[in-house]
Amino acid sequence: MTGTVQRGAIVAAVAALMVIPTSWVEHGPSLCLIRAIFHTCPFCGTVRALSHFFHGEFAEAVRWNINVVLTGPLLAALAAKALLRWLPLVRDLRRRPLHTIPRHRPQQHLNG
């Protein structure tokens, strides 16, 4: 994946965890393949923990998975870094007149 796609995926994941209610995440089925095969997984509960973390419910987040102590702040920092890298681009687009912004033009096909 390119850097822009990775940054977009991180920001989208954090935004989803902030917007989706924790009750939806908490009561959903487990999709963990490691747990399905080995009946235990050190990462199980991470998505639920991150959901609680990004809703400010830190005690509940730690209850789901202690790894959230590291993964939560790390994911938040990566999302903040991605947003800060996009900020100059957004400012630049706001300053440019509309007619100078490049637009996608469909390719013309020649028949015959």
Run of H or E residues at 68: helix 68-95
pTM: 0.64
pLDDT by residue for the chain (112 residues), tens only, comes to 567 777 788 888 888 888 888 888 777 777 778 888 888 888 888 888 999 999 999 999 999 999 999 999 999 998 988 888 877 766 666 666 655 555 666 566 566 5
- Domain of residue 74: give its range: 3-86
Task: Tell me the residue type at 22.
Answer: T
User: Does residue 109 lie in a domain region?
Assistant: no
User: Does residue 58 lie in a domain region?
Assistant: yes
CA dist 60 and 57 (Å) reads 6
CA dist 95 and 68 (Å) reads 40
Indicate the number of domains in the chain.
Answer: 1
CA dist 49 and 5 (Å) reads 25
| Cβ proximity of 16 and 55 under 8 Å | no
User: Does residue 16 lie in a domain region?
Assistant: yes
